[in-house]
Structure 1
Amino acid sequence: MSQHSAVIPDAILDASGLNCPEPVMMLHNKVRDLAPGGLLKVIATDPSTRRDIPKFCMFLDHQLVEQSEEGGVYLYWIRKKAE
């Protein structure tokens, strides 16, 4: 069990069943609505998110706190930059 599984995120984005580029497009909108420093949990099933979400975070200066994969489900914990 990860260290963040007990942490309650400020928001959850469930992008299960969606394929590239939809999860990242949804992530972009969700992060925009999040308060600075807020924690977002992303649930995805598209393997390309393993590449796309870390790039998204790096490009926009958000912190990818953790990522994991379990049975074809990819989980990401993203902390929005503090502006």
Structure 2
Amino acid sequence: MTASDYDAELDARGLFCPEPVMMLHNRINEVEPGCLLRVVATDPSTTRDIPRFCQFLGHELVQEEELGDEFVFVIRRGDG
């Protein structure tokens, strides 16, 4: 996925729980409903926390992958 495939990005590399999800909570509100937000993190707990965040708040986790020591998520903002 290239930069033209998503609408915004959140760089949470080097941050540890709960910071990545706290930043995600703020950043997702800056994205229009239906748009894509790409999140890059290095904290392994994000593989648990970000899918739960999406589930509880009605966002769609479009893609999740591990690239070396980075975890990349693409989230489609829900209506809420």
Pairwise TM-score range, normalised by the shorter structure: over 0.9
Equivalent residue number for residue 71 of structure 2 = 74
Mapped pair 1:14 → 2:16: no
- Measured against aligned partners, the alpha-carbon deviations of 1:13-46 in whole angstroms (never above 9, x if no partner) come to 0000000000000000000111011100000000
The letter for the 2-side match of 1:69 is E
Alignment of 1:25-64 (within 5 A): 25-64=22-61
Q: Where do 5+ consecutive residues of structure 2 fail to align?
A: none
Instruction: Output the amino acid matched with 2:40.
Output: I
If the length of structure 2 is used for normalisation, what is the TM-score?
0.94
* RMSD, matched Cα: 1.0
**Deviation of 1:9 (Å):** 1.1
Question: Number of matched residues?
Answer: 79
Percent identical pairs in the alignment equals: 54
Superposition misfits of 4+ residues, deviation over 4 angstroms: none
Q: Which amino acid aligns with 2:49?
A: D
Deviation at 1:70, TM superposition (A): 1.2
Separation of aligned partners in 2, 1:13 and 1:33 = 11
CA contact (8 A) 2:58 2:79 kept: no
Relative to the length of structure 1, the TM-score reads 0.90
